[in-house]
Structure formats: structure tokens, C-alpha cells
Amino acid sequence: MTSPIGGISLPTLPGIGALGGPSGVGSVVPAPAPGSADGFAAALTGALDQLGSLQSSKDQLAVQAATGDLRDVHDYMIAAQEASVATEMVVTIKNKAVEAFTEIMRMPV
Amino acid sequence: MFDGLDISGSGISVHRRWMDAVSDNIANINTVSSTDGEAFKERMVVAQAVDYGSGEGGVRIAGAEFGSGEGRLVYEPDHPLADSEGYVRYPDIDLGDQMTQLIMAQRGYQANLASLERATTAYQAALQLGKG
């Protein structure tokens, strides 16, 4: 029963070895491969940027609808739908990130 | 990111323009002109595919085509626009044909709306992965 747990080898987590002292903390940050490190941050920033542009195009169409300049009803509806789904997505990603952070913070030291 | 929605949106736009053209044709079906002028020309939209491989799919309006301006001559001697022989020019538009086109445009519009709705549902279902 306990043997699989004992089977976990620490060397698969090289980052832990770097946590030897306070100086090691700094080295933990660049330790993961740069690609995977930017991965999440880049995805989040990209999603936020995209959300910003979707929101602004939606706002633009909302103004057009209010002023009577809107030519296509569905354009506004699609933009609103896109903005809403994008917001939902960014919020979900944010929640996941916060969840992961609190999970790590809850880790007994 | 939401290509499915944009593609469906382009389809909806094209079908709306088609409905506009049909409405224009029906609105002018009784527009009379004198025989020395041209009759109202039937409006037809030309749709063109936006290549899917180019990264943006969908359809767009490539332009408009116009039917014959010759129309058909109708004998209406009482008409103020009638010529010396009593003829006026009516546009050569068939109401039955326009009605058929109207149904096609409407159904196409609805089909694009349905695919738009499905795409939205699919995206929202994918978001469920991140919840819970």
C-alpha cells in the first residue's frame, strides 16, 4: 500500500534542491524552462488584451446601436456574445491561477 | 479566437444583404417608367467565399449585379407616363421568383444563426473544464 508513495523519487523535482537557502529562492524563478514559464503569463496577458479589444469593439457597436448607426443587429449581438464568453474565460483562468496560488500557500512548511 | 462566431456572422450579413436586395425588388415591382427610359433593374447580390486556409473563413459580398433594364411593355393608355402608343415599362421581376429567394435568404440567415448558437454553446462547454 505504501510502496507506491515511497516510489516517488525526489530527483524528478530539481527545483526543490535549489530551495536550500534564501539565496536559492531567487534561483527557483528562472529554474523552469522559459517557454513554460511565460506560457501561463503570456496566455493570461494575451487573453486580457484580446478581451480588451473585444470589449471596446462591443462598446463601439453599442454606441452605434444607441445612435441609430448600427447597420447589422447581429454584429452587435455577436460582439456582445464574444465579449461575454471572453470575459468568462479570463475570469475562469484567473480563478484557476488564484486557486493554484492559495493551494501552494496552504502548503505546510 | 472566436472564428466560428465571426464566420457565422459573415454568413448572416450576406443573407441580410440578400434579403435587402429581395425587399428592394419587391418594393419596386410596380415601379413604372416611360418607354424611353429604363425600367427598374432587378438587384442581385454576389456572394464570394473567403478562403478558409487564409486564416479567416466565411463569406462576403463581392458586389451587386443588376438585371435587365428593358423590362416588359404594358399597354396602359391612361397612365401619365404612357407613350403615344399607350405603353409603359414595368420592371421584369417575377414575384414568385422573389418569394422563393426570400425564403432561401431567410432560411440561410436562420441556419447561420443556428451554427452561431452551437458555436457559443461549444465554447461555453469548453469553459466548464476550468470550473469546479
State the ipTM, two decimals.
0.74
Cα B22 from chain centroid (whole Å): 5
Average pLDDT taken over every residue of chain B: 90
On the CB side of B106, CA atoms within 13 Å amount to 8
Q: Is the pTM of this model over 0.90?
A: no
Type of residue at A7 = G
Q: CB–CB of A27/A18 below 8 Å?
A: yes
Q: Which of A85, A93, A95 sits opposite B123 (nearest CB)?
A: A85
| pLDDT(B12) > 70 | yes
The set of residues, in sequence order, having a beta carbon less than 8 Å from that of B119 and lying 6+ positions away, is B2, B4, B5, B8
pLDDT score at B19: 95
pLDDT score at A36: 57
Span of A11-25, A47-61, B18-32, B53-67 with lowest mean pLDDT: A11-25
| pLDDT(B87) > 60 | yes
Q: Do A92 and B131 touch (CB under 8 A)?
A: yes
Q: Do B127 and A89 touch (CB under 8 A)?
A: yes
pLDDT score at B112: 94
Positions in chain A short of pLDDT 50: 1-32
Contact list, A81 vs chain B (CB under 8 Å): 5, 120
